[in-house]
Structure 1
Amino acid sequence: MKKQNQCVNGRFVSVEKIQQMFANLGFELCSGHKHIRAKLGENSIVFYTNGGTVNISFNEKGGKQ
């Protein structure tokens, strides 16, 4: 039998990997800059950089415990 996916919308990842990913993202966004533009929306954060934007959205309807 073929192993089923752990989750329909993705897979489980360790908390340490997520923390490292956000640390790397923050370092890359801020490296060489004194200030960066950011916008806080109702359910998202947008960072504006010279090469484009980084948009982090929060979805509350899935995975509530």
Structure 2
Amino acid sequence: MIEGIAVLGILVGLVLSTHGIAVLFANRNNLMDFVGLLIDKNHLRVIAAFLILVLFFLRD
């Protein structure tokens, strides 16, 4: 019973990942906008400040 559920989970994962890859491939011309990765200077400043704070607090 457990093996059947595991196989079903793997099959569902494969189907969903295949669908996701197909959707990304269909939208490959506008991929950055589709995924939401439009980064401007303000976003880069926030990312840099976050990384500096992380490095500051994680130093030993």
TM range (shorter): 0.3 to 0.5
TM-score (norm 2): 0.35
| Larger-Rg structure | 2
Which has the larger strand fraction? Answer: 1
TM-score (norm 1): 0.33
Which has the larger helix fraction? Answer: 2
